Amino acid sequence: MGLFWKRKSGDQFISLKLNEPQPAVAAPEQAEQSATRVEETASPMPSPEARYASDSSAAVSGSAPALEPVITGGTPTPLPVETSTAKTVKPHSPPAVHEVEATKPAPAQAYVPSRSPFATSVLGLNLSIEELQAQEAALEQEFSARFRRAVSATRESLSERLDTVFQGLKQIDERLLDELEEALIAADIGVATTQRILETVRRGVARKQINDLDALKAAIKDELLKILRQSEKHGVASETSIAPDVSPYVMMIVGVNGVGKTTTIGKLAQRIKAEGNDVLICAADTFRAAASDQLAIWAERTGVPLIQQKQGTDPAAVLFDALKASKARASDVLIVDTAGRLHNKSNLMAELEKMKRVAGREVEGAPHETLLVVDAVTGQNGLEQARQFLKVAGVTGIVLTKLDGTAKGGIAVAITDELGLPIRYVGIGEKVDDLVVFDPELYVNGLFE
């Protein structure tokens, strides 16, 4: 499924390489012993008498050979047991053959690091590469199934309606195209976007490239994918577009009250933090009563620090404090909550412009993303909100919430087509991990499967 937050480049991650196969190499102490034995082999071998005399002198002087620790891949090496071999050897008699063999050092063994002793690991360090790949494939399948379920209501109103209309027809005519237009508009794909799709279908029918229902669905899918992918050229389609040395990465969240803005902030903080980033939340919605209290609940639940002040404080001042705090603690991401502004309230929109100026003075290029939270249930009203916020707030991307609870999921296509803004995240449920990165291909396939 990939990372949720991909701003850190690959060379910034520390690879422990615990799951990679290790070459068989000797332990440092064993390597030194092997080198010593090679040198001894190259030099003339002393006679048994000379070797015995050396051993006897060492025993008389009372000096014992130094004990070197031996590294193994299993349990710790047991302590050596002292023997009295030197005292029992008779003077002027060469040692027995088995005693000579016993004094020879053990041959070097390949040093193989042990597996992690932990039964479980959040980072997957206890798993092999094959196990991690199988786990990722299972997550991909689960994510695809959840996404299909999220757009099931839209699929029923669009795809199944086409199936009903196409029954008994041997060719695509104007009556079917009229039914197709109604179905697309009912799914909130929008009038302008619907006309674009119909023009493409009509050209395909005239060229006899579209002559059955499967070809018709394929043409609609191709056109929808083209619209969604073109929008990624505008706004901010990925956090990786900002230089990694710019810190903190400032995300400003805007939108009207009731669209799920506070919940989105909590889910964003949780998912970004879960991938090893230091996250800070700024409660700059000081106008609405209990707004900071609601955000504090999410901050406590996710374990993310929250910067807040009393109700009625200048939001730009709260943001200034949060920027200073994030710099002091070297935070990676700062998520800024703003007041639920109605797009026709000029004083609130002016306050939003002031916050952007403050952020830009403190951090280069901030805010790096301005995400507009849109409730998918509102349909075309959400599109009008997006138009107004785009004029003042400089929106760079969309977060589409409650996609799983509406038959009007086509609003995602209408927003990207008319505003040229990418859909960054979508809410497909109420759980923390139900905020996911928007995948155009999964979305379109879910509408027609």
* Residue carrying structure tokens 């935070």: 331
Closest of 256, 283, 248 to residue 375, by C-alpha = 256
Q: Are 282 and 318 in contact (CB under 8 A)?
A: yes
Q: Bridge-partner residues for 337, per DSSP?
A: 253, 283
Report the DSSP pairing between strands 435-437 and 423-427. antiparallel
Closest of 91, 118, 104, 99 to residue 18, by C-alpha = 118
Greater confidence (280 vs 108) lies with 280
Structure tokens at 384: 């009008």
For residue range 310-369, list pLDDT tens digits in order.
988 999 999 999 999 999 999 999 999 998 765 556 777 788 889 999 999 999 999 999
Greater confidence (267 vs 122) lies with 267
Q: Bridge-partner residues for 435, per DSSP?
A: 427
For residue range 388-418, list pLDDT tens digits in order.
788 777 899 999 998 887 777 888 999 899 8
Average pLDDT estimate for 99-109: 51
Average pLDDT, the chain: 76
Greater confidence (259 vs 76) lies with 259
CA dihedral 227, 229, 232, 237 (to 10 degrees): 130
Q: Bridge-partner residues for 281, per DSSP?
A: 306, 335
Q: In the sheet where 435-437 sits, what is the strand order?
A: 306-307, 279-283, 333-337, 249-254, 369-375, 397-401, 423-427, 435-437
Maximum CA extent, the chain: 117
Residue-level pLDDT at 366: 95
Greater confidence (411 vs 42) lies with 411
Report the DSSP pairing between strands 369-375 and 249-254. parallel
Confidence band (pLDDT; 50, 70, 90) for 124?
A: low
pTM summary value: 0.70
CA separation for the pair 205, 175 (Å, rounded) = 13
Greater confidence (229 vs 170) lies with 229
CA separation for the pair 244, 12 (Å, rounded) = 9
CB within 8 Å of 148: residues ≥ 6 apart: 155, 442, 445, 446, 449
Three-state SS for 136? helix
Residue-level pLDDT at 63: 47
CA separation for the pair 178, 160 (Å, rounded) = 16
Greater confidence (196 vs 22) lies with 196
Structure tokens at 19: 């799951």
Ranked by mean pLDDT, the top range of 27-41, 100-114, 428-442 is: 428-442
CA separation for the pair 446, 37 (Å, rounded) = 68
Q: Return the CA Rg of the chain.
A: 34
Residue-level pLDDT at 146: 77
CA separation for the pair 360, 336 (Å, rounded) = 13
Residue 53 has pLDDT above 50, yes or no: no
Secondary structure of the chain: what % helix, strand, coil (to 5)? Answer: 50, 10, 40
Residue-level pLDDT at 42: 45
What φ, ψ does residue 346 adopt, rounded to 5°? -65, -35
Q: Are 122 and 87 in contact (CB under 8 A)?
A: no
Confidence band (pLDDT; 50, 70, 90) for 447?
A: confident
